[in-house]
A and B are shown apart, each in its own frame.
Chain A
Amino acid sequence: MDARIFVASQWQLMWWRFRKHKVALVSAVVVIGFYTIVLGADFLAYADPDASEAQRSLMPPQRVHFFDGGRFAPYVHGVKGVRDPQTFKRVYRPDPSRKVPIRFFAEGAPYHFLGVFPATRHLIGVDGGGDAAQAIFLLGTDVQGRDLWSRLMYGTRISLTIGLFGVTLSLILGVFLGGLSGFYGGVTDTLIQRTIEILRSIPTIPLWMGLAAAMPREWTILQVYFAITIIISLLGWTELARVVRGRFLAMREEDFVVSARLVGCTRTRTIFVHMVPSFMSHIIAATTLALPAMIVSETALSFLGLGLRPPAISWGVLLQQAQNVQTVAISPWLMLPAVPVIVVVMAFNFLGDGLRDAADPYGH
């Protein structure tokens, strides 16, 4: 092993370092898992996320029975719901006589996988000719009777992709402006640095509130979506720019850069072929850490009523709909969307830390 260190490439070293950080490894797996949800949301959901039905309003998560008479044959009981005239709560009683078997890879509502391939199979579903995919509610339902699990699947897709777009934008802005700043120094540097300071000094929430309040309400959900990502990333780039600038400053005086210039490389070539690859790892680490901030920002904006709104579904929207006393007191399962938020943010943070530790393979 020791001998291999000397001939190993930079990326291999990074990988070896990264592997030591067990939790980061696990987190990487978790993150990959979540992004497969993004791809396969339609497949994993089994109900129409917008299908409302008052008779199943605020149904608690159903209990899944895994074994039926000794065999592995998961099922749920059919449920009957009424509104209690004294307490005004909706009360659901499982009907022991009705067993609804759960089928895997069941036929359900049609969708387009990856937006292209038409398909009708879902991970799970129920049959019952007509009742297809509507009679199981793994995580219960919301106030309009919509299945929470399916909504969560679609919400995951939107929340995680907002993060991606936002981070990409921050990345581009950060590398570009940070690079300019670090490489050229002087006036450019001062100007960009001061702008960064001003932006960082403004408390973000008022800035968001103001910007979001200014957004024309007649924009479609999609336009609002993109506007939100732009707003969030407009503030996120400062951290990346700082890192990039720092790296550039440190590297300007390095031998290999000087020699590149002496040999006659153009500025562009020096930057992109020689300098950038050496701090690529730092960039990756910083980017990974910026993503959870995006996700959290989206939830915060939705809470303020300024981000995505129904009928769009995102973690922020789901949490906003759970943000009331009756949910906490009577239908707490509606707060479950907080769990993926916590898991993903933690995972990205550990992953980012691991990447950053590994990014400096010649350091500690």
Chain B
Amino acid sequence: MLAYVGRRVLLAVFTVWAISVLSFAIIQLPPGDYVTSYIAQMASSGSVVTEEEAQNLRIQYGLGQPIYVQYLKWMKLVVRGDFGQSMEWKRPVIEVIGDRLWLTVVISVAALILTWVLALPIGIYSAVRQYSPGDYLATFVGFIGLAVPNFLLALVLLYLGFVLFNAHIGGLFTPELQDAPWSAARAWDLAKHLPIPALILGLAGTAQQVRIMRANLLDELRKPYVVTARSKGLSELRVILKYPVRMALNPFASTIGYTLPYIVSGSIIVSLVLGLPTVGPLLLKALIAQDMFLAGTIVLLLGVMTVIGTLLSDILLVWIDPRIRIEET
């Protein structure tokens, strides 16, 4: 068991490193660099940046050096916990990301919880009443989240919120509480703003979970012990819930790892539309501006989040289900 955990942790570290290289490389792919982007912005507002100034800026930002040098420079900072300076924001990357990263986590977790709340009953019903009209209806509801383009849905909900409820447009806080220190009021404000993003995101991940739940439960329901339980006279509800569902939940738990990157990605789009102060909009702007430390750090941190999620769920799974341990070796 320990050997397994050890191996997985090692692998996780390696994966994180690979992500850092990949993300840095991808950010450098577009032609030009932060300075060309900066010059472009200046030009659009009518200001001139001459060639000499541009060169000066490049030297000052350290952009003149080859990529691997910049990457190593970044890595040296990262291991010290300092993620470099954002060129666009002219502040340390950590400060710019600040609240946003963990707000992304909050939204993702809220969405995940919502996904389970929806998927579990649907999956169970679907397995127990396979091929019935109820099954079709339930799976329809489960799948609808996958099918509806979530950016359009988000915009429609945003507009409807304003028209019908005079709701404050987008964001996760009302403006007054945006920068305030944490308090019960601020937490409640956040909770009030969460439902719409969590709903849009949660619906998207539901389909996958419904499938898994359904398949696992179907497997379990064929097993002899269920037949035994029924013949012994247990009520149908108890028959289903007491053992099969619990068994079916095991692999369910293991999929947290893979649902997480999906939800985090999805949250980027929803955040963009709803104007949420999470990592998504920040990342998009950073990629376009080629603000490499900021973009690289965000991708890295997102990757780390998902790797940790996967790691935890894999370990959880192995701990619960001894059969898998054998399969892995």
Q: Known: A201-B261, A296-B146, A322-B152. Is A20-B131 also a contact (CB below 8 A)? A: yes
A–B pairs, 14, beta carbons within 8 Å: A194-B11, A194-B15, A197-B310, A201-B307, A201-B310, A202-B19, A296-B147, A303-B149, A303-B269, A304-B272, A338-B149, A342-B144, A349-B147, A350-B143
Question: A residues within 8 A CB of B140?
Answer: 346
Among the 9-residue stretches B23-31, B42-50, B93-101, B232-240, the one with 4 or more Cβ atoms under 8 Å from chain A is B23-31
Q: How far does the alpha carbon of A20 sit from the alpha carbon of B14 in the complex, in Å? A: 47
**Interface size class of chain A, counting residues whose CB lies under 8 Å from the partner chain:** 35 or more
Cα(A28)–Cα(B31), bound, Å: 45
Other A-B pairs, 7, CB within 8 Å; known A203-B268, A209-B287, A210-B287: A198-B18, A202-B23, A203-B264, A203-B265, A205-B266, A323-B152, A325-B159
The minimal Cβ–Cβ distance linking B328 to chain A, given in whole angstroms, is: 11
9 closest cross-chain pairs (CB), A and B? A214-B29, A210-B26, A345-B147, A205-B265, A342-B147, A328-B159, A203-B302, A205-B268, A203-B265
Interface membership of A364, Cβ < 8 A? yes
Residues of B within 8 Å of A216, CB to CB, are 31
Cα distance A206–B283 in the bound complex, in angstroms: 8
Residues of A within 8 A of B23 (CB): 202, 206, 210
Q: DSSP class of B's interface residues: helix, strand, loop or mixed?
A: helix
Q: Does A204 belong to the interface (CB within 8 Å)?
A: yes
* Residues from 1 to 52 in B contacting A, C-beta threshold 8 Å: 11, 14-15, 18-19, 22-23, 26-27, 29-31
Contacts of A341 in B (CB 8 A): 147-149
Tell me the B235-277 residues at the A interface (CB within 8 Å).
Answer: 258, 261-262, 264-266, 268-269, 272-273
**Complex contacts, B295 vs chain A, CB 8 Å:** 206, 210
Q: Are A211 and B303 in contact (CB under 8 A)?
A: no
Nearest opposing residue in chain A for B16, CB measure: A201
How many B residues have CB within 8 A of the partner chain?
Answer: 55
Nearest CB of A to B131, in Å? 6
| Distance to closest chain A CB from B305 (angstroms) | 8
**What is the CB-to-nearest-CB distance from A285 to chain B, in angstroms, rounded to a whole number?**
11
* Partner-B contacts on A (CB < 8 A): 20-23, 194, 197-198, 200-207, 209-211, 213-214, 216, 292, 296, 299-300, 303-304, 319, 322-325, 328-329, 335, 338, 341-343, 345-346, 349-350, 353, 364
Residues of A within 8 A of B261 (CB): 200-204
Q: Given A198-B19, A213-B29, are A206 and B268 neighbors across the interface (CB < 8 Å)?
A: yes
Known: A203-B302, A213-B288. A292 touches B146 (CB 8 A): yes
Given contacts A209-B283, A341-B147, contact A22 B211 (CB under 8 A): no
Verify if B107 is at the interface (C-beta below 8 Å from A): no
Shortest C-beta distance, B278 to chain A (Å), equals 12
Instruction: Please indicate the chain A residues that have their CB under 8 angstroms from the CB of B30 in the complex.
Output: 213-214
Complex interface residues of chain B between 267 and 305 (CB less than 8 A to chain A)? 268-269, 272-273, 280, 283-284, 287-288, 295, 298-299, 302-303
The reply on B136 being an interface residue by CB < 8 A is: yes
Which residue of A304, A322, A324 has the most chain B CB atoms within 10 A of its CB atom? A304
Which residues of chain B (156-196) have a CB below 8 Å from chain A? Answer: 156, 159
Q: Is the CB of A201 within 8 A of B19?
A: yes
**Pair A353/B287 contact, Cβ less than 8 Å:** no
Cβ B131 vs Cβ A349 within 8 A: no
Q: Does B71 interact with chain A (Cβ within 8 Å)?
A: no
